[in-house]
Each structure stands twice: as structure tokens, then as C-alpha cells.
A and B are shown apart, each in its own frame.
Chain A
């Protein structure tokens, strides 16, 4: 234990003093501050634009061609629905000239209404991203048409308005899924992946450096290789935790300093109710277990190569597995997949679980049992990988020249 602490202390102090570590901490902190300041900056820019006048405010243009005046109230309906758009009626002669404008700008669309018993709408736009969505246009014009039709059937204005009444609805959800928790899940998915994978690369490089610089031989006559490995893993793990905690502090500071108090996401105020002390402790546990799993795999890779340049090649299969696991979790979170085979895979595959479990915990998804089983699988995988890694490390650190397979190193490591 004493030896582990000595290796831990030396490795931690060496790693934390590295320029690359300090620079990446500064850059990522600045990015976090910029993100927290984003809403204020956006508001200021928006405010300036508002001061610039009505033309800027109504930044989009909808040209309306209703040749037969079949829907007299449609212009007002469109203006009411799309308040940042100016709606201008055009004549059939203008159509070709306006089409040319549409080709040039993504902020201009033409709505051409062909009259008849059942009018049809043709929408000209630059590409699928231009102007309001098809659904919203369809909804507004259909509503306008329905209103005209009801009027023709002598339905009173009061009845028509009554038919448009929206009944109040209050959602009561079984999960905590809200925009804040959802966004935080994505942030944690990224943060944990980069932190865990970055730490794994750091451990592999550190071991390969000790091998390639030949300091390893001096090292292993001074201390038991398993203690060296464990001390190194703990040191770089703590460094990862320091990173994550530091980024959380910077985020908290930035949020309190720069983010407007009334800031909302998609119309919903920020809600941090999912971030409880047990949730934070669970996130920390997930980081530790995920980190242990990935770092022990990386340590075996670092011990198996002679030169630091070969680390990337040795890590390639691990990189493929980690990327696949990360994307499985990332897309499952992005598309809010909470059940089915993808969610099950992201929950129980140990390489993916560290990136998906925060989503489950912060949003109250899945049962406690499934989270517990996932954590147990992760723990067992980390222990097994740690055992295999120590054996491979013991055999690999003094193996130079002819490359040996992991299975051969594993066998040799047993006798050391």
C-alpha cells in the first residue's frame, strides 16, 4: 500500500505539472464559460437587432400568391403565427422574379394557393431548412380554409372561435426527463467519454514511455510491478476526477455569473432537481468504474508495445470498441431511447454503460435494479480486466523486440 502511494504521489505530481494538462484545462474551462455566457451574449445580439428596426425583426419573408382570393384571412393568420416574418401578397406575374429570390435566400419562401373545393398549397423554398416547417404552414392555411368553410355554412363567429379553443393540459411524468436533465445527460456523456478515454490514453502512453525510455528496468527492481501499475492508475484516475470536478466548478461559477436567471430551454425553465447528492455520488462511482475498466485495458496495451509511437496502433481495437460504445450511448440519449434493444445494450454492456447510466440516473429512467445490475457488471468487468492487465503488465514491461500476443503475456505473467 505504501509503495502504491509513493508511485501515486510521484505520478500525480508529474502529470499535473505537464504543460499539455494545464493548457487543456484552461481551454476547456474557457469553453465552459463561453457556453454558460452564451444565452447572455445571444440576448445582447438579439437586443441590438431589435434596435435596428422592424425590417431586421421580421427577418423572414413569406410571399403569398392566392390568385382566386379563396382564403381572404390567410395573410393575417400567417402573420399571427409567424411573427418574425413579413407576409406579402404577390400577383402571378411576380412569381418568376420571386422564385429567383428564393433561390438566393434561405429566408424567403413563396406559398402559392390553388383555389378549388379543396385548395392545394405549393411551397417554394431554397432547401428543406428554409422558412417555417411544412407542418406549421399546413396547419395555419388549413385552419384558415376551415374557418372560411365554416363561415360559408353559417356557423357563427363565436362557434368558430369556440372550435379553436385549446384545453389546458398538465403533464405528470414518471421520469425526470426535462430539457435540463436531458442536456446534462449529453454533457456527462461527452465529459465522461473524453475524460475516461483521455485518461486511458494517458496511462498507456505513460507505461509505453517508461518502457521506451528504459526507465522500466530501474523501476521494477525498485517496486513490485503490480503496485507500480495500481499507483499509476490511481494517480491518473484522481487527475481525471480533478478535471471533472474542476469543470463542474467552472460550470457552476459560469452559470451563476453569466447565465440569465430567467433562461429557459425550449420554453422550459432550467430544472436541476435531478442533480441530487446521491446522483452526484453515483456519477462519481460510474466514473471510477468506467475509468478503471478502460485504464486497465489501456495499461495492457501500453505494456505490450516497445515504443510510444506504437501505442495508437495497439489501442486501435480499444478505440473502435470505445467509439462504438460512446455512439451507442450518445444516440440512445439523443433520441431518448429508454427501452428496447439499444437501451438494454447501452445499459448492460460495460464499455457503454459509463456513458449511458448518467442519462438513466439524471432522468429517473429504468428501474433501480437495472442500474444496480449494470453497476455490478461494470465492477466485475473492471476487476477482471484489472487482474488480466496486471499479469500482462508484469510480463509485458520487460518484453522488448519480438512482439508477443496478449494471451502469451497473460500466461507468462502468471509466473512473475
Chain B
């Protein structure tokens, strides 16, 4: 099974919103679509789903154009919305019916997901009486009601409290375990980093980086060093030529560039008889890669 996206392009009033985006998703799991606000993430998803027509390019699932009829997909839109005056169970069953489920199947699925998202007690209430977080969970249930094989989640964690974030995380892990293809859209790097095996970074409609996240990080090498935050450690690191990225309560993070630079600091510590409690070399975070790519790109484009 493959989601194949090829050269998707779309303009609005002469301004290019998405510019020749291509990627493939060949394995079940999570694919992360990352970008700043207005980068073109939602437009890309809408074009894949056919909500918006693409000026150019196409998206296929197993070689077929993605339509309501050809693919069983689920979609959680960025702009949340449910029928406020309708009962929760009524609208879940309605969307199940619209997606071709019979009443029994839809009811079984609805009961399962209401229980899974811990909102069973609200099933007979009007949606307007639910909190925003619970409404969001109902919409997530609606997007999963037809047991989709391909799932699009547009900013799924926005607006959720930590408890519900954890709950949704578990659901996404469950979906991955059930071999679902999940395309997740977010500008929160940590959430993507937690789930996505492959990513695509968008900036102003253009692809600035894409590929396997582990490989991308490995390509950067161990560029960051975390040591104790004591003044003697920080001063020594700076004297060695390392750039302080962030100083936290109990640790400081430096950009080392190469592992040799880190080794020089370690030698200097030994010479000075300093005994660090932590000395961790790590790959850059997705957030750092993103800022490097997008920030640099913005600088480049602004100077053109």
C-alpha cells in the first residue's frame, strides 16, 4: 500500500500556496508534515483529499486517485466543527452512515471509540454542552468511525490538555500498531518527533527537507553537547569555542559542530580536574533542524 503524492501545486489569487510537493508513504506508521503557520500543510492535505483541486500534480493511494469511494480514509480537520445542537451519538452515527457503514457497525465502532476516548457519559448529550477538549475528541471519533486505512490528522494535539494529549498519543500508537497509515500535520515539533518515521518540512509552500527522520538526524551527527550548568563548566566550554544554545536549571546545551570539539572540552575538563555529572552528545532535535532549515530559507528568500 502506498500513498503517492506527486508535484502537488496550488495558487490562491496568483500567490503560490503549495509548490510542487512530492512524497511517498510506503509503510504503515506516521508521516509528519511540518511547517510554520501558512506553510501550506492544510492546503496539501485538502488537495490530497480532493477538497481543493490541485493546479498541478496528483495524489494516489495504491495507484488510484483518492476519492471518498476509492479509499477508506479518515480526516480530522484543523478547524474543528461538529453539530452543536445534535446529540453526540446521533452525529457519530450520521457520519458513519455517510461513510457507508450500516447502523450496527457504526454503533459498535462508536461505542468502542467513545469508551476509548473516555467520553461515553456524554453520548446522549448535545455537543454544545461538551467542553472544547471533549468536542475535539468527538471529532476524532468521527474521523475514525469507519476504521480508515489512511488517516489525516491536521494539528491533532492543538487545544488539548496534558491528560488528553496523553490519551490521544496512546490512540495514535494504537493506530500505528494496527498498521494504519497516518499523515500528521503539525507545527509542534515535539509531537511529530515522538511519532513520525518520515517527515517533510514545508516553508512557504516549498519542500525544504524530507526523508527518514532518523537518517536526517544521523546525517547531522552529534552536534549538541549537554553538560552541567555550573559556571565553571559553562565558562570552560565557551573558552573552548563552543556556542551556548540554552542554559537550563541543571544543565547547559552547547553547539559543538563536530565530536572533536566535544572531545577537546572533555580533555580541558580532565586537565582542570572538573568532574561533570553529565556529558551527553546528541543529534540535533527536529525543532533545531526545522529552525535551521526554515530560518535559513526565510533569510535566503528575503534577500532575493
Task: Give chain A's interface residues, CB within 8 Å of chain B.
Answer: 3, 6-7, 10, 13-14, 18, 210, 213-224, 398, 402, 415-416
Q: Closest residue of chain A to B79, judged by CB? A: A214
- Given A398-B52, A415-B53, A217 and B79 touching (CB < 8 A)? yes
Docked complex Cα distance between A416 and B80 (Å): 23
Docked complex Cα distance between A221 and B98 (Å): 10
B80 to chain A, nearest CB (A): 6
For the complex of A and B, the 8 pairs showing the least CB-CB separation, nearest first, are: A214-B81, A215-B81, A214-B79, A222-B98, A217-B77, A213-B81, A223-B98, A10-B94
Contact with A along B134-146 (1 / 0, CB 8 A): 0000010011000
17 A-B residue pairs with Cβ-Cβ distance under 8 Å, sorted by A, are: A6-B94, A6-B97, A14-B90, A213-B82, A215-B82, A216-B81, A217-B75, A217-B81, A218-B77, A218-B143, A221-B49, A221-B51, A221-B73, A224-B68, A398-B52, A402-B13, A415-B53
* Residues of B close to A14: CB separation below 8 A: 83, 85-86, 90
Interface status of B84 (Cβ within 8 A of chain A): yes
In B72-119, which residues have CB < 8 Å from any A CB?
Answer: 73, 75, 77, 79-86, 90, 94-95, 97-99
Docked complex Cα distance between A416 and B53 (Å): 7
Task: State which of B51, B73, B83, B84 has its C-beta within 8 Å of the C-beta of A220.
Answer: B51
Task: Give chain B's interface residues, CB within 8 Å of chain A.
Answer: 13, 46, 49, 51-53, 68, 73, 75, 77, 79-86, 90, 94-95, 97-99, 139, 142-143
* Residues of A close to B86: CB separation below 8 A: 14
- Given A6-B94, A14-B86, A402-B13, A214 and B68 touching (CB < 8 A)? no
Contact B98 A213 (CB under 8 A): no
Contact A222 B79 (CB under 8 A): no
Docked complex Cα distance between A9 and B90 (Å): 11
* Residues of B close to A223: CB separation below 8 A: 68, 98
Docked complex Cα distance between A210 and B81 (Å): 8
A131 to chain B, nearest CB (A): 57
Docked complex Cα distance between A50 and B131 (Å): 66
Docked complex Cα distance between A204 and B70 (Å): 31
Q: Closest residue of chain B to A223, judged by CB? A: B98
B179 to chain A, nearest CB (A): 22
Contact A222 B95 (CB under 8 A): yes
Docked complex Cα distance between A381 and B51 (Å): 29
Docked complex Cα distance between A163 and B85 (Å): 76
* Residues of B close to A18: CB separation below 8 A: 85
* Residues of A close to B52: CB separation below 8 A: 398
> Besides A221-B73, A222-B68, A223-B98, 15 other CB < 8 A contacts?
A6-B94, A6-B98, A10-B97, A18-B85, A214-B77, A214-B79, A217-B51, A217-B79, A218-B75, A218-B95, A218-B139, A222-B99, A398-B51, A398-B52, A402-B13
* Residues of A close to B79: CB separation below 8 A: 214, 217
Contact A218 B81 (CB under 8 A): yes
- Given A10-B94, A402-B13, A416-B53, A221 and B83 touching (CB < 8 A)? no
Q: Closest residue of chain B to A6, judged by CB? A: B97
A178 to chain B, nearest CB (A): 46
* Residues of B close to A219: CB separation below 8 A: 98
B30 to chain A, nearest CB (A): 20
* Residues of A close to B68: CB separation below 8 A: 221-224
* Residues of A close to B46: CB separation below 8 A: 398
B13 to chain A, nearest CB (A): 7
Docked complex Cα distance between A224 and B100 (Å): 12
Please indicate which of the listed interface residues B49, B94, B99 has the most CB atoms of chain A within 10 Å of its own CB: B94
Docked complex Cα distance between A216 and B82 (Å): 9
Docked complex Cα distance between A6 and B101 (Å): 11
Contact A214 B97 (CB under 8 A): no
B276 to chain A, nearest CB (A): 52
Contact A213 B139 (CB under 8 A): no
B123 to chain A, nearest CB (A): 16
Q: Closest residue of chain A to B82, judged by CB? A: A215
A7 to chain B, nearest CB (A): 7
* Residues of B close to A398: CB separation below 8 A: 46, 51-52
Docked complex Cα distance between A217 and B75 (Å): 9
B186 to chain A, nearest CB (A): 18
